[in-house]
Structure 1
């Protein structure tokens, strides 16, 4: 096998064959050809005296391991800077390319020989197809009809100014453009590259900066969806016009065929997908393996259709993802595919981009400087356009600036556009390398800029009624409930029903559905407000009368989820945060722990909450019939926490069907008020259960368990103790019943004095 010395960055060309068993050749560039044997797929081992890296399969596996290891290492190294993973992957591709490690002698020839580029690029584009399909699944196309006017105007302003700058730049670069490149095509490619917003990268940045559930985050997400849709339409138009030999008529046919493909997907494929999604949701199960295989075949057929039409294959995969129903089915598809696609296949695309990015090709500082200036100017224009619309809608200046920076999120979508432009010969190597570097730098600046503008201390809103004790009894009571799954809904609703909500004193509940951010987009799509499977498992229809429910969502790692909970409680001016205990009741009445992260969340919220917190340990409260009588006990020891508990119980006492018993425990110092403590010796019947086990530790059993406790030297009280044993029916110590009113005699005054020691509230 003979191989010419070729820079892998220039490896994009044609494949020609001469029959089975003969060598195949593919042109890497205009002045180099690579020849290889088609049967050299797997090696026979070292024992045959051959180098396994000369065979297609071993070298591909080694490349895959190197790519994944490099990108993961950079993700870890850049994590303290809070950079999105896409930035680490782009930098990883550049590091493995000719710009960095390509200068190491023998590295490119050994690890990325020219004969392996075709296989590497084919698999990388296959991963790109599936990733674009997942992006389409994440976007709810039907939600575009529900997007408000403000996100549409923000998206339009954020695209119009940068796109106009791209048009002006294409005119300025007209002398550097090759004569066989269509001017309109270059205009569209540069305009789209300068104005695009990467929706999936933006969602990740918003989740990590705790802005996903804020008004700012929701506005940015809605505007990014609109921006993405417009960008893909313009990109398809640019691809249709980029063919050197295409006539205006053939470009028109490409556009018409592309429009027909979209119509078929939305009006023929989408109903079938919706039926499958409803069937999956009704069965309350995830998508099956056979259904997933069918979807993967559909993705590849859609990509084949658009590639045959003349539009890039990623457009077909993206449109096929758009017609997928969101919610449980979409989240299930993403959960099954995302780890493999984003963790194994997609990094190969960044390596291919890195192999094409060569800093040494930037030989004209004036041209590169002008491109850099245009790119920065377009980013500033996007911020300015977004800020103007924000000011028009009376948004704070900091939020307007933050929104402008967020709309400059580029990353993967930008890389896709630039790679297509380079493959279509619209961008040369120098322009491609310059724009890759500038795009990566701009995306890397988004998270630090947003963090600086949206510091947590600046997002806090002061309010007075942070406790139940300070809340007005006849005013609306605001509560924030953290819910991890359906199991936590019923106990919370039962507790609210006991709290006597009514028109005079209503309860406004913010039902916060807590999703763990695991590095997958499935959590983000399941939490999307437009998704039918969003936190709507609790709503006004399920709540008792007098309770209004407003669903919210938080997507965070458990280590930092308390920040979301506390911030939302602050924003919504909640008086109480309701959290479920980290253990739940099993069928055999044991308490079984759930995810360990739930306990850490509760501890962190208790340590940093801006208002009162209530932890609910459910032992059957969800089964309580709210229409029958209820009995509530309050153990009062004193202090601010017990006073808050008393305020909660005081609210329950207003419920006509609820009886609240308050048991007050007095400290030892207060016992000096009493001169004598009178107690019965033994307890039998139902009362015996209250002192079970105490007799085993008694020093003086003749005093009984309670008398022994009061007379012990370990008991610091100074009160005298009188232990009484009753004589009943000739047998000492046998008293089968606790005396009732009749046994106390007819002295009503005596009964009244004794009953007053039991403080029982049936109402105020």
Structure 2
């Protein structure tokens, strides 16, 4: 009795927190397709559950239970546990997939269906003759709560929100209110959890709700709710399955298997009716097989009222355990197999054809990242031949069970008068991107929210990038610019996310260091209202630099942008150093030599193509700068101070050049590459924003190169110098080779 009492108390507080977290505005607006899938997913398993109940009862020699038990069996079989399903989808990184969104929408509708069944079945199970009285009382209780108690709570919360923190008195009052509402519905004839759930539902969303969750979530979920599961386990008696009831064991096994297949069969029918692939239908059936606490509540209510006997209770609980445990491993196997087969071509910005859509995944952590990212997307120049589709991803740290409930809700605008901080940030971010979409008719924006642990957040980003087939992932830098121009850490966890994305991204990646790009918009002259941006692209060589040049080339189509492409070439001293290294080396592997030679040829071909096509473009200036070592490169970059609004550079993953020799020894941020690190270093007074680009495939190449020996690195170093020296002497007449005195100052 003590365990039973504690279990119901823990269950009551759990459903109170569930109602506190739930957002009715998201649940009450499903699409027709989702509504149809949910209804079929409810009706067919319901009918199968009734048939399985009578099949099991027909095989039993002891038939003492009422026929009303079939409804309890069928109801528990149709319910999908939304919190458990969300956790499974989060672990499998399927939250933003099409099948994941459909499964969560169906599960939310199942939650409403489950509460309606609990409010109807339990009074009917207690006494069919008085069920109308219980239902009338329950409806009256709900109306009073929403139209009398909720406005009173809103007024109290509005007064208390003006203080720095909420008094403990009000927190205790809310907890006591949940228990009182549970007692009221229990007296009416409904289950006590109905009152607690409704009381949690009427509390307005906002900081007060967040405080309640912080105070109660760990205690309820970690200490009190386990008593409910213990209570369920005590009622299970495996001996009654076959021995006392006289049911054949194979009949029990058949019932369990058919119960596990009910949702899958209904989802396969859904796939036929709604023209879905059969594989997706089977996957949806496996996901919706997830069971939660509400299904156990219905079975426990049937057992307590002796509507279900020990055998029927045990068989259904075992079936629910089997189908829920099997969801994660089955989905993991299916998802990994399908993920390996899913490929797409447009993984980079550098493409053979310019008339293709550019798909960008723009990631933001806080509202402070939005203005810079939007400014960068604005100058990315969407055209009719090459429109831009932006997937705006708000990255939120996953904390506790409550946050998992917000994953779907945060994708819609909250109607709450006092939204929580996470909801308020999401609303601001979504509104900003939607306003950007309205101002740019060639841009399509789809806002999303990813909630996960910082350690696995990169998996959400990469899987979403692959699912949406994007060509570029934009990430904010983990540091922000201060008033004095220095860079200050914002969150060290952001850096780990960026490093993991760079290592595992299925497409190109850009890390954006915002130093007021939006503020750089200014009139072009007294009589010219066109905004002017001065961009610079620093080119040394390699696939990352070519990708950065491709992005800069796209930007220059914007009427308000002038672009200076600065190519650094090795001087005579660098060539002499290369010859000395060749003497010290002991030969070179053919693979490394061919790779370096092909890289140099690709660089030269792309530069020549760029110069040929932009020869008559007044907004483009091509410059060449001769340097001999990393020190001269840094000096040349330092001389560009305050000349440009945005610097676009390649990360130069795995590339070795005498032009940056020694710079990596004092690099603070290796994820930016040596040139990017120089540009954002606090030792320089540069006030310009920086975009560091890594082309898809460079990370794998870098891992392959890092596995080679020091001798192989020396071979690549020498070959790179020799190729750059030959290219400089053969093509210097085509460009402007500047000395230090010729370096542009001011407006280039």
TM-score above 0.5: yes
Which residues in structure 2 correspond to 1:319-718 (within 5 Å)?
319-325=198-204, 333-362=212-241, 363-364=243-244, 366-367=246-247, 369=249, 370-455=251-336, 457-458=338-339, 461-470=342-351, 472-473=353-354, 475-501=356-382, 505-525=386-406, 528=409, 529-530=411-412, 532=414, 533=423, 534=426, 536-542=430-436, 545=440, 546-587=442-483, 589-625=485-521, 628-668=531-571
Length-normalised TM-score, structure 2: 0.69
2: CA distance, partners of 1:143 / 1:757:
62
String of CA shifts for 1:523-550, please: whole Å, max 9, x gaps: 4415532452346253221466354321
In structure 1, the partner of 2:19 is: 136
Is contact 1:331-1:523 (8 Å) kept?
Answer: no
1: CA distance, partners of 2:159 / 2:56:
54
1:155 aligns with 2:34: no
2: CA distance, partners of 1:563 / 1:236:
41
Is contact 1:335-1:522 (8 Å) kept?
Answer: no
2: CA distance, partners of 1:151 / 1:276:
38
2: CA distance, partners of 1:300 / 1:153:
37
Shift of 1:614: 0.4
The 3 A distance-change label for structure 1 pair 195 and 276 is farther
The 3 A distance-change label for structure 1 pair 241 and 524 is closer
The 3 A distance-change label for structure 1 pair 432 and 136 is same
In structure 2, the partner of 1:209 is: 92
Is contact 1:327-1:526 (8 Å) kept?
Answer: no
1:183 aligns with 2:67: yes
Shift of 1:678: 12
2: CA distance, partners of 1:258 / 1:632:
66
Shift of 1:597: 2.9
Is contact 1:139-1:322 (8 Å) kept?
Answer: yes
2: CA distance, partners of 1:444 / 1:574:
34
Shift of 1:223: 0.9
1: CA distance, partners of 2:737 / 2:81:
75
Could you tell me which runs of 5 or more consecutive residues in structure 1 were left unpaired when the two chains were aligned. 1-116, 693-708, 711-751
Is contact 2:213-2:402 (8 Å) kept?
Answer: yes
In structure 2, the partner of 1:59 is: none
1: CA distance, partners of 2:239 / 2:146:
46
String of CA shifts for 1:700-742, please: whole Å, max 9, x gaps: xxxxxxxxx99xxxxxxxxxxxxxxxxxxxxxxxxxxxxxxxx
SS of 1:241's equivalent? helix
SS of 1:633's equivalent? strand
1:265 aligns with 2:176: no
In structure 2, the partner of 1:222 is: 105
1: CA distance, partners of 2:212 / 2:267:
34
1: CA distance, partners of 2:369 / 2:138:
48
Bigger shift: residues 126-135 or 355-364: 355-364
SS of 2:247's equivalent? helix
In structure 1, the partner of 2:667 is: none
Length-normalised TM-score, structure 1: 0.67
In structure 2, the partner of 1:14 is: none
Is contact 2:62-2:245 (8 Å) kept?
Answer: no
In structure 1, the partner of 2:133 is: 253
Is contact 1:466-1:573 (8 Å) kept?
Answer: yes
String of CA shifts for 1:535-590, please: whole Å, max 9, x gaps: 62532214663543210122222333222212222222222110011222345544
1: CA distance, partners of 2:384 / 2:747:
21
1: CA distance, partners of 2:430 / 2:211:
18
SS of 1:560's equivalent? helix
Shift of 1:364: 3.4
In structure 2, the partner of 1:233 is: 116
Shift of 1:292: 4.1
Which residues in structure 2 correspond to 1:41-190 (within 5 Å)?
117-118=1-2, 120-172=3-55, 182-184=66-68, 186-190=69-73
Shift of 1:144: 3.6
Q: Which is higher, the Rg of structure 1 or of structure 2?
A: 1
2: CA distance, partners of 1:228 / 1:133:
14
Shift of 1:409: 0.6
Q: In angstroms, what is the RMSD of aligned CA positions? A: 3.9
Could you tell me which runs of 5 or more consecutive residues in structure 2 were left unpaired when the two chains were aligned. 415-422, 524-530, 577-625, 642-657, 660-735
The 3 A distance-change label for structure 1 pair 273 and 401 is farther
In structure 2, the partner of 1:198 is: 81
The 3 A distance-change label for structure 1 pair 149 and 527 is closer
Is contact 1:240-1:310 (8 Å) kept?
Answer: yes
The 3 A distance-change label for structure 1 pair 372 and 284 is farther
SS of 1:538's equivalent? helix
User: Across the two proteins, how many residue pairs are aligned to each other?
Assistant: 576
The 3 A distance-change label for structure 1 pair 678 and 753 is closer
Is contact 1:661-1:760 (8 Å) kept?
Answer: no
The 3 A distance-change label for structure 1 pair 153 and 307 is same
